[in-house]
Structure 1
Amino acid sequence: MSEQREQRTQDRTLALAGIFQACKLVIDLANEGKCDEGAYLASLESLFALNPASTLDVYGGHLVNVQVGLEQLAEISGKNNPNNFNDLAKYVLSIIALYRQARKNKEMMQVVRSRLEHMHYKKVHFTDDTGDITKSLSGLYQDTLSKMKFRIQVTGNMQHLTNPAVSDKIRTLLFAAFRSAMLWHQLGGSKWQLVLGRGEIQVVSTELLNETSPYRHHDDPQD
Structure 2
Amino acid sequence: MKDQIITLAALCQVANLVQQVSRKGQADESELEMLLNSIVETSPQNTLAVYGGELSKIRAGLILLIEHLGDNKNDKVKDPEFTRYLISLMNLERKLVKQPKKLALLSERIEDTKRQLTHYELTSDPLVASFASIYSDIISPLGAKIQVTGEPNILKQKTNQYRIRALLLAGIRTAVLWRQVGGKRRTILFSRTKLVQLAKQLLASLD
Does TM, scored on the shorter chain, surpass 0.5?
A: yes
Are the equivalent residues in 2 in contact too, given 1:75–1:82 (CA < 8 A)? no
Are the equivalent residues in 1 in contact too, given 2:5–2:199 (CA < 8 A)? yes
**1:40-51 to 2 correspondence within 5 Å?**
40-51=32-43
User: Does 1:37 find its partner at 2:29?
Assistant: yes
Whole-angstrom CA distance in 2 between matches of 1:93 and 1:72:
15
The one-letter code matched in structure 1 to 2:151 is N
Whole-angstrom CA distance in 1 between matches of 2:167 and 2:122:
17
**1:8-19 to 2 correspondence within 5 Å?**
9-19=1-11
Match of 1:57 in 2: 49
Bigger CA drift: 60-69 or 79-88? 79-88
Match of 1:28 in 2: 20
Bigger CA drift: 9-18 or 150-159? 150-159
User: Does 1:95 find its partner at 2:82?
Assistant: no
Q: How many residue pairs get matched?
A: 204
Give the SS at the match of 2:182: coil
Give the SS at the match of 1:50: coil
Match of 1:127 in 2: 120
Whole-angstrom CA distance in 1 between matches of 2:14 and 2:197:
21
**1:190-201 to 2 correspondence within 5 Å?**
190-201=184-195
User: Does the C-alpha gap of structure 1 residues 122 and 149 become closer, same or farther in structure 2, counting only changes over 3 Å?
Assistant: same
Whole-angstrom CA distance in 2 between matches of 1:129 and 1:141:
16
Whole-angstrom CA distance in 1 between matches of 2:76 and 2:157:
27
Whole-angstrom CA distance in 1 between matches of 2:192 and 2:145:
27
The one-letter code matched in structure 1 to 2:177 is L
Whole-angstrom CA distance in 1 between matches of 2:122 and 2:10:
23
The one-letter code matched in structure 2 to 1:141 is Y
**Offset of 1:149 from its aligned partner?**
2.1
Whole-angstrom CA distance in 1 between matches of 2:48 and 2:152:
35
**Offset of 1:89 from its aligned partner?**
0.8
Whole-angstrom CA distance in 1 between matches of 2:122 and 2:61:
25
Match of 1:158 in 2: 152
The one-letter code matched in structure 1 to 2:144 is F
**Offset of 1:102 from its aligned partner?**
1.0
Give the unaligned 5+ runs of structure 1: 1-8, 215-223
Give the SS at the match of 2:147: coil
**1:137-176 to 2 correspondence within 5 Å?**
137-176=131-170
The one-letter code matched in structure 1 to 2:129 is K
Whole-angstrom CA distance in 1 between matches of 2:120 and 2:150:
32
Given the two structures, how large is their TM-score scaled by the length of structure 2? 0.93
Match of 2:60 in 1: 68
Identity %, equivalent residues? 28
**Offset of 1:11 from its aligned partner?**
0.4
Deviation digits for residues 124-170 of structure 1, max 9, x if unmatched? Answer: x3322522211110111111101112321111111111111111110
**Offset of 1:18 from its aligned partner?**
1.3
Give the unaligned 5+ runs of structure 2: none
Whole-angstrom CA distance in 1 between matches of 2:57 and 2:38:
10
Give the SS at the match of 1:140: helix
Structure with more helix by fraction: 2
Alpha-carbon RMSD across the aligned residues, in angstroms, is: 1.4
